[in-house]
Structure 1
Amino acid sequence: MKPFHFKALIVDDEKTACENLKSALQALPDVHAEIVGVAHNTREAEALISRTEPQVVFMDIDMPNENGFQFLNRIAPFPFEVIFVTAYDEYAIRAFKLNAIDYILKPIDIEDLKKAIEKLAEKFEYLEYKANSNIAFGQMQKTMKSPAGEQQIVLRDNRDVEIVSFRKIVYVEAMRSYSKVVFYKDNVEKNIIVSQSVAEYQEIFPSDLFFRTHKSFLVNCTFIDKILKEDDLWYVSLKNKVQIPVGRRRYQDLLEFLKTKEWHVA
C-alpha cells in the first residue's frame, strides 16, 4: 500500500483499548493515522467530531448511556467513515447496514487492522476519483465539435480519456455504480468504464439518436439491426451482434421512436 495519511477519532469507553488501537495503528507501515481525539463516550465523541472533523471514526459499540449504533443513527448522515472495533461478533450485520468500512474484533489482530485500513484507502481513492469525474462530467456536458463538424463527447475513466463522436457510441450499459460505454474508434469496437449513470448520459446525449430501451441501457438506434422476441421478452439486436433487452413498457415507445425517425428495422 502506498503511504496513506488520514485523520482519525477513537471512540471507546475502555482507555486500555484506545491505547492498544493507537499502538496498532502506529505499527502499520506506510500508514500515518493522525489521531485527532479520543472519546470515552458518545457525548465526548460528538463534541470532538464537530471540532476536529475526522475522516474516519474507530467506534466501539457497547458503551454506557448510548451505544455506537444509537449514536450513529442519531447523528446520521455523518461526514466520515466508520470502522467498528468491538469485543462482540454478533453486531457485524448491523454494522455493515450502516455502511461501515470494516468490523474488527478485540483483541485487535494487526492483519485485520491492516485489511481495514486498505479498505479505507480504497474508499478514499474512489471518492477522490468520483469527485474528479463529476468535475470532468460537468466539463463533458459542454460538447465539442470535431474538425469535420461532428458533435463529440469526452469520456474518462481513472486512466484514459476518450473523445468520441456521438454517432460512434453504440450503447451505454449500467454496471452498479458505474456505466460501460461501448463505441467505435478507428473502426475498432472499444469500451470504457465511467462513473456516471445511464440517466446522466440520457440527459446530454442527442435525443434524436439515443433511446432508453431498458432501465440499464441507452442505445444508439442507428446501430439497431432488428427487433427480436424470445420467451415473451423483447430485444434489439445490434449490428455488432449484441442483444439489448427492451422493457415491456418501452417497446411501443421504441417502435414509435423508430417510426418518427423513418428508420426501417426488421
Structure 2
Amino acid sequence: MKWIKRLAYFFGSLYALVCVVLYFQQERIIFNPTVLEDSFQFWEGEEVYVPVEEDIDLHALWLKQPSTRGVVLYWHGNRGSNRRCLRQAENLAGLGYDVFMPDYRGYGKSDGHISSEKQLFADAQTVYDWLKQHYREDQIVVLGYSLGSGVATYLGTTNHPQHLCLVAPYRSMVEMKNLILPVVPSFLVKYPLRNDQRLGNVKVPVTLFHGTQDELIPFEHSLFLQKLLPQTAQLISLDGKGHRGAIFSSVLREELHYIIKNNI
C-alpha cells in the first residue's frame, strides 16, 4: 500500500505544481505581444499616444476618413501588435467611419505590461474617454475581436456607445480554460473576462459575428451569448470561416457598413 500512497503523493504534488505554474504564468499564456522599436514607422494611419497612467502611454493607430461620421474603436486579439493587426483595421475602414486601434500595455509601442483585469479595463475606459474628446458617444462603435471581445463588452456595460460588435467572442476565459484544462480550479483564473456575466447588462444594440468553423473559440460560445440579449443582440454566422478568417470576412465588413449607414 505504501507505493499507492507514494504515487498519490507524487501526482498530487505534480498537480499542485502545475496549478502554481499556470497561475503565475497566465500573462504569458493569455497575452502574446510583439514589441516594436519606437523608430518603427507604420505605412498607414496617424500614430497617437493615450496616457493611461503616470509614465504609461498606450500607442494607437488612427485611420481617418476625409468626411467621417464617427469612429470604430477596435480592440484586437491577443497576438502581435498594431503592426500585425493593421490589415484587420483596414478591413474595417473606408465605410464612412474612422478606425481607432489601441495596443494593450506591452504590445507594439505601448508602455508597461498587463498585470490585472482591473488594469486592462481601466486602460480601456481611459481610451474610450479620450475618444469622447473627439467624437460624440453616439458616434462610437465599439468592436472587439477574440481577446478584445472581453474589453469591448466591458465598455458596453459602463458606457453608452452607438453599437457593440463582438467578433469571435468567448463566454469567458474560465470557459476557455475548461475546454483545455477542466481539472484546474476556476478560481485560479486571474483574467476571467466574463462576457457571459456582463453582456446581459449592455443597454445598446449588439451584433455578434462568429465563424462556424472557428477552431479556437467554438461557435457555440456566440450562440450562448446571443441568448443573453434575445431582443437586442443578433448573431451573424460567418459560414466556413475559422478564427482568424472572421475578422477579414467580407460579411463582417458589409454588416458593419449597414450598422454605420443606418446608425443603429
Greater share of residues in helix:
2
The interval holding the TM-score normalised by the smaller chain is under 0.3
Q: Give the TM-score normalised by the residue count of structure 1.
A: 0.26
Report the structure number with the largest CA radius of gyration: 1
Greater share of residues in strand:
1
Higher relative contact order (CA 8 A, sep 6+): 2
